[in-house]
Amino acid sequence: MFGYRVPAPDEAMLISGGRRGLEGAPFRVVTGHGKFVLPVFRKTRFLTLAMCEAEVAETCVTRQGIALTVRAVIAFKVGNDHESIVNAGQRFLSDQDQMAVLTGRIFAGHLRSIIGSMTVEEIVTERQKLATEVLETSKAEMAKIGLIVDSLQIQSIDDGDAGYIKAMAAPHKAAIQRAAQVAQAQATQAAAEAEQAATRNQAEYARQTAVVKAQYSAEVDRAQAQSAQAGPLAAAHAQQEVLAAQTELAQRAAELRQQQLVAEIVKPAEAEAERIRVLALAEAERMKIQAEAAASHDRVALDRMLIDQLPLIVKEAAGGLAGANVNVLNGADGLGEIAAGLVGQGLTILDSVRRNLGTPSGNGDEDPRPARKQLNGGQIDVD
């Protein structure tokens, strides 16, 4: 569209004419979007915001008075903020290549100042420290012209023909050479030791091979000797095994015969003896029972006979009292007591007869004394 302008992503569009920009700037700054610009009445210019590079090769004198040529590379650009764009636009818009030239000169001055306060050893061994100090000292000055530094790299440090850096490296080089020589000597010694070890291993291998061969020959000879003796030894072993088998067979036959004799003779004899013993015991038990039964029958018959004779005995005892002088004091009761005494006398006689015949009495009492009966007012003795 006529009059509409758009800056590139890495550019800032500066519009002059008309009203002033922010904070009293002589132009307006547009980044990241387009803007309608009236032709003839407005003027538009573009300031790069891309990364730029400046190289520095400066001869500097150290604190020791030794001249060093230092080469460095500075990466810088215009700041993205409005103030930096305005400052850079006012200084470099008409000739933007002057930004690299001016940046190189600024850093060259700071390099000379900082290297002048350091020794060669510090500069050589602490390059990062040198770069950091240069950046810090130049930051404020670069900001005034709208530039910021992204990095500073020290590429080389050279003392020309002075040879100071080379001399400074000599002790380290010598130490490295000594270490290399020591390493070489150690490697040579290790190689020699390895060669000696290899020689010893070869000799040991040869010796062991000879020993193995000798052992193998001895084993072969022993195997051949055993093979030659194998026939007779095998026959003897076979004969010995046959004899052992025959002996075991004879033992088993003897054991079998012994078991057969026990089954055919001993066991039947023991069974017959047991049968006879049982029969004898049964017969003895039978005879005992019969004897006890006969004895019991005789006692019962004897007792019955005595009982049958008891009235006769009492009668005879009463007859003996017929001519006796007996006084009865208490009438019928006294007469009953006399009768009872006669019966008791008869029972006593019956017990005596039983004892004489070997028959126990009914109540178990055995008194050989004559029976005596007490009466009221006197006593009656029966002999």
3-state secondary structure of 72: strand
Q: Residue 300 — very low, low, confident or very high, per pLDDT cuts 50/70/90?
A: low
Q: Reply yes or no on whether the pLDDT at 241 is more than 80.
A: yes
* Single-letter code of the amino acid located at 329: L
Q: Which pairing describes strands 378-381 and 372-375: parallel, antiparallel, or unpaired? A: antiparallel
Q: Which of 22, 17, 19 has the alpha carbon at shortest distance from 85?
A: 22
* Single-letter code of the amino acid located at 221: D
Name the token pair of 241: 């095994």
Q: Which of 160-164, 219-223, 258-262, 341-345 has the lowest mean pLDDT?
A: 341-345
Name the token pair of 27: 């132009």
Dump pLDDT digits (tens) for 155-185: 888 888 888 888 877 787 788 888 898 998 9
* 146 contacts 87 by C-beta, under 8 angstroms: yes
Torsion of CA 7, 11, 17, 19, to 10 degrees: 90
* 111 contacts 74 by C-beta, under 8 angstroms: no
Q: Identify the pLDDT of residue 22.
A: 62
Q: Identify the pLDDT of residue 371.
A: 41
Q: Which pairing describes strands 11-16 and 378-381: parallel, antiparallel, or unpaired? A: unpaired
Q: Residue 380 — very low, low, confident or very high, per pLDDT cuts 50/70/90?
A: very low
Q: Residue 149 — very low, low, confident or very high, per pLDDT cuts 50/70/90?
A: very high
Give the residue carrying structure tokens 């390059």.
Answer: 127
Give the residue carrying structure tokens 């008409």.
Answer: 94
pTM: 0.43
Dump pLDDT digits (tens) for 194-204: 999 999 998 99
